[in-house]
Structure 1
Amino acid sequence: MSRITVLGLGAMGSRMASQLLAAGHTVTVWNRTPDAAEALVKQGAFHARTPREASAGAEFVIAMLRDNDASRHVWLDREIGALSGMAAGAIAIESSTLTSGWIQELGTHMQHARVALLEAPVSGSRAQADARQLAYLAGGEEEVLERCLPLLRVMGSSVHHVGGLGHGALAKLATNAMLGIQVTGLAEVIGLLERNGADASRVLAAMAGTSVWPPVAAYLSGSMMTENFAPQFPVALIEKDFGYTLEEAGSAENAPTIAAAHNVFQRAATRGMGDRNMTSVVRLFTEKRD
């Protein structure tokens, strides 16, 4: 069994730590708000006060954080940063959804500290994390990935090596962009059907029998039609990811469809939907207006 640190105990990080504990690993956790660690401590985790303290003695340090700024602070802060607590030869696993440029920069810092970096963002949400069905989109050296595989397979059902450092970030952003485009497309279609007096549920059921219906559409449309907007992937987070995707694209002109979908999530966020599930954007198209 390995000594593992998990930094960031949000919806995904807490579930990853729980799976590692269940598999018998020694797990130390840290979160910006300490209360988030209480349930994991009851399961047997150790709680550290800072990322630096948490990473001391760890063979693997996994981060699941909100964005580039949080990643930079947690890894590199001069006083409390995790990298300053890691021993040479340890492995850092960055599972947050970030930009490729930041991942490459972080890799340089890790190299100087003689710490290996694997980027391992995941596709999947809370249900997949609970069921150990996350799909990893890994970037980095194959040798480093091989050393991490036993841990990743505790939390996920598939691991895809997509290239060097930065390519995992691109793969994750591309995946989320495709998901978000499907969300906005379905939301617009439902609004179109309802405004024209059609039975949206019946039409969607018919569409589900055609080749245009992707597997995720059953969940997305079901959430929209029942207005079940409990956060699995909140609007605020996917809006952030779309911003990163457009940054990678270079301009909205290079990715006009992605830019249009981004605009939908921005509108939803300004209307107070940021904490709701991404599928709540359907209300932009179905709510009656005077």
Structure 2
Amino acid sequence: MAKCAFLGLGVMGYPMAGHLMAQGHEVTVYNRTTAKAEAWAKEHGGKWASTPREAAMGADFVIACVGNDDDLRSVVLGEQGALSGMAEGAVFVDHTTVSAAVTRELYGEAKGAGVSFVDAPVSGGQAGAENGVLSIMCGADQAAYDSAEPIMQSYGRTVKRLGDSGAGQLTKMVNQICIAGLVQGLSEGLHFAEKAGLDIREVVDVIQGGAAGSWQMVNRHETMADDHFDHGFAVDWMRKDLGICLDTANENGASLPVTALIDQFYKDVQKLGGGRWDTSSLIKRLRALD
């Protein structure tokens, strides 16, 4: 069993850290809001620290799941950052969805300190984190990945190395590009069904087992039918992720015309007050156009 630090206790990190404890690992958590760290420690029996550095001291693995590039830098670098407390030979595992550029930057900083760095963004949402069945896409040196893989299996059903540093984040971009197009297509299909006088639930019951079926269709059609979006992966976070995809496409020459359009559709949802709504709220934008 390993000594672990977990930085960031949002809707994903809180249950992920809990799975580590359930597997018998020794876990110390850090969260920007101390009350949440204290609550986690009380619930799971682990420890909490007041700074990333304090949490990381003596840890074999330091794991982060925070918000964006700046949040990640803030918990890794600086006098109170995790890197300043990590021992040589320790491994940093980052589950945040960030740019490949910041991943490579922090990989270099870690390497200079004798620490391994694994970029390991996740897919599966809050439910996947709570049930310990996340898909985890990794970029790392082979030895670092081999060391961290058993730890990530505590909350991951599919854990795979895709290449060297940055490959995990690039794979997550592929994931978000695919989801954006899929959710827009699903929204248009269900909106069409409504306008045609069909029952969404009955339609999905027929088509979900065919070529049109998807996780989004199975798990989101009922809440979409009910116009309920107070759950799931927030539009604000999706726009952050799509912004990373579009910036990277400008760098590598990929053409993402549909992704760019759907990013603007999500901007429309934000203007409706839906920044914290689930990404399936694209259908609400269509209803607002009626």
The interval holding the TM-score normalised by the smaller chain is over 0.9
Specify every segment of 5 or more residues in structure 1 that has no aligned partner in the other structure, as ranges: none
Q: How does 1:65-84 map to 2 (within 5 A)?
A: 65-76=66-77, 78-84=78-84
Q: How does 1:1-290 map to 2 (within 5 A)?
A: 1-42=1-42, 43-76=44-77, 78-250=78-250, 254-287=255-288, 289=290
Query: Aligned to 1:222, what secondary structure does the other structure show?
Result: helix
Is contact 1:23-1:154 (8 Å) kept? Answer: yes
Aligned residue pairs total: 288
- Report the CA distance between 1:279 and its aligned residue: 1.4
Is contact 2:201-2:222 (8 Å) kept? Answer: no
Distance 1:209 1:156 in 2: 26
- Report the CA distance between 1:263 and its aligned residue: 1.1
Query: Please, what TM-score do these two structures have when normalized by structure 2?
Result: 0.94
Query: Aligned to 1:159, what secondary structure does the other structure show?
Result: strand
Moved more, 31-40 or 10-19: 31-40
Specify every segment of 5 or more residues in structure 2 that has no aligned partner in the other structure, as ranges: none
Structure 1 residues 16 and 200: CA distance shift in structure 2, 3 A: closer
What is the Cα-based RMSD across aligned positions, in Å? 1.8
Query: Aligned to 2:153, what secondary structure does the other structure show?
Result: helix
- Report the CA distance between 1:288 and its aligned residue: 6.4
Structure 1 residues 128 and 189: CA distance shift in structure 2, 3 A: same
Distance 1:218 1:282 in 2: 15
Query: Please, what TM-score do these two structures have when normalized by structure 1?
Result: 0.94
Q: Read off the aligned partner of 1:118 and give its amino acid letter.
A: V
Query: Aligned to 1:281, what secondary structure does the other structure show?
Result: helix
Moved more, 47-56 or 185-194: 185-194
Deviations 1:174-224 (CA, angstroms, capped at 9, x unpaired): 112211221122112222333344444444444324322224321122221
Is contact 1:183-1:220 (8 Å) kept? Answer: no
Query: Aligned to 1:216, what secondary structure does the other structure show?
Result: helix
- Report the CA distance between 1:159 and its aligned residue: 0.9
Moved more, 52-61 or 253-262: 253-262
Deviations 1:3-41 (CA, angstroms, capped at 9, x unpaired): 100000001111111111111111111111111113321
Q: Read off the aligned partner of 1:254 and give its amino acid letter.
A: S
Q: Read off the aligned partner of 2:216 and give its amino acid letter.
A: V
Q: Read off the aligned partner of 1:62 and give its amino acid letter.
A: I
Distance 1:271 1:134 in 2: 31
Distance 2:94 2:254 in 1: 30
Is contact 2:12-2:130 (8 Å) kept? Answer: no
Is contact 1:231-1:278 (8 Å) kept? Answer: no
Deviations 1:110-147 (CA, angstroms, capped at 9, x unpaired): 11111000111111112211221111101111111111
Q: Read off the aligned partner of 1:74 and give its amino acid letter.
A: V
